[in-house]
Amino acid sequence: MWKKIKKLFFILILANILFIVWGKFFNPPITLTQIGGLLEYGKLKRDYISYGEMGTHVKKAVIASEDQAFFSHNGFDYKAIEKAMKHNEQGKKLRGGSTISQQTAKNVFLWQDRSWIRKGLEAVYTFIIELVWSKDIILERYLNSIEMGRGVFGVEAASEYYFNKNAKNLTKSEAAWIAAILPNPKKYDPKNPSAYLKRKHSWIMRQMNNVNLK
């Protein structure tokens, strides 16, 4: 029995290693979050594109919105985590401190919840992809797999869904609208923005001026 358990454990580790290495060259065939969206909404709008096909505006907008230290941290933004912990301790609405690298690890390899098991695995995968993948690859995987609406995944599908154009052709304002719906794309709609979303859009537009793509 113990030998079978060790064998199974070894197979799982090997499969994960192969999947991580494979992911350096290819986008995931499908993710657990995408399966969940398909089951919940009966549709899966997704169109993987290369890093170069994404254009500049949407990259800057998402980095400005989600993780302005993306190119300088090692996968974990400890200042953002500390701020999030202090904010949450005050009993306010929960705020996350996850980086784009952490969100990529979650979106590509794991599932969506707040359990300690998932967070622990997320940390492991984040550490590994920061070592094995480049920042451009991490950002490409993130922008292709991130949920951008009900059954809509990735910036290309979001660009087509909200603005009827390719991601590379988005204006600065349109890219900021797409970034503004993160991290709650099921709640917010750039076609019918709330006052909060309008304020966030304006903030992202300003912050995009501070983002330099490496």
CATH code for the domain of 151? 1.10.3810.10
Domain assignment present for 2: no
d(CA 107, CA 32): 8
Beta strands in 105-173 (DSSP E): 147-149, 152-153
Domain assignment present for 12: no
Domain assignment present for 109: yes
Instruction: For strands 152-153 and 147-149, give the pairing.
Output: antiparallel
Domain assignment present for 169: yes
Nearest to 60 by CA among 154, 171, 159, 151: 171
Q: What does the pLDDT profile of the chain (214 residues) look like in tens digits? A: 777 676 676 777 788 888 888 999 999 999 999 999 999 999 999 999 999 999 999 999 999 999 999 999 998 887 766 676 665 555 555 455 789 999 999 999 998 888 888 889 999 999 999 999 999 999 999 999 999 999 999 999 999 999 999 999 999 999 999 999 998 898 899 989 999 999 999 999 999 999 998 7
Instruction: For strands 152-153 and 45-46, give the pairing.
Output: parallel
Domain assignment present for 17: no
Domain assignment present for 145: yes
Domain assignment present for 143: yes
The pTM score is: 0.89
d(CA 80, CA 74): 13
Total number of domains in the chain: 1
Give me the domain span that covers residue 72: 30-210
Domain assignment present for 6: no
